[in-house]
Amino acid sequence: MGDMNGRIGRKTGDTVVGNFGEERVNDNGERLIELCTQTSLTIWNGFFNHKNIHKYIREQHTKNFKHIIDCIITKQDLNLKIQDVRSYRGPNCGTDHKLLVAKILFPYKYTTTDEHKEKKENTVTMVDKKRKYNIESLKNESVNFLYEQRLNNKLNRNEFTDTEEMYNYLKKLYS
């Protein structure tokens, strides 16, 4: 997730770019699409049909410009289910960008042993269940502060020499 300054356009039937994005593509957008194609990533902004006020991230009213330049990007074979990506114009973040929000379903798999089968074959079965995350507790200032500190410590613990090294670290951290 981030400000890529790349306008990625739209493509029908593509696994990288959806068919509900903006019409224009710029140089940064072409490079971002090429990177995502090579590394099997998906840019989710254009996969959901929304009104224009919920589609565009940055607007310049003086020049009548509208851009989608902030992106939500994930691996194509990721187990997460992206349900929606859209911008919200209400929150003031101290920038000319709108808030970009993704609704994500986190499926959770855990192992369990079936006692009847265990006696016969000693097998382990994977069961798919929804894991409950206590997101409500993040409204508490102290819990939110501790969460931010721990996340920053994990991300800032290593000094990275290039983006590939940072990508491999994050991949290892969250897999």
pLDDT category at 119 given cuts 50, 70, 90 is very low
* pTM of the predicted model over 0.85: no
Question: Which one has a higher pLDDT value, 18 or 1?
Answer: 18
Using the predicted structure, report yes or no on whether residue 4 has a pLDDT greater than 70: yes
Question: Which one has a higher pLDDT value, 91 or 143?
Answer: 143
- What local confidence, expressed as pLDDT, does residue 104 receive? 85
- What local confidence, expressed as pLDDT, does residue 113 receive? 53
| pLDDT tens, residue by residue, 83-94 | 888 887 776 666
For the residues of the chain, what is the DSSP string, one character each?
-EE----B---TT-SSB-SSS-S-B-HHHHHHHHHHHHTTEEEGGGGS---HHHH-SEEETTTTEEE--EE-EEETT-S-EEEEEEEESSS--SSSBPEEEEEEE-EEEEEEE-HHHHHHT--EEEEEEEPPP-GGGGGSHHHHHHHHHHHHHHHHSS--SSHHHHHHHHHHHH-
- What local confidence, expressed as pLDDT, does residue 25 receive? 84
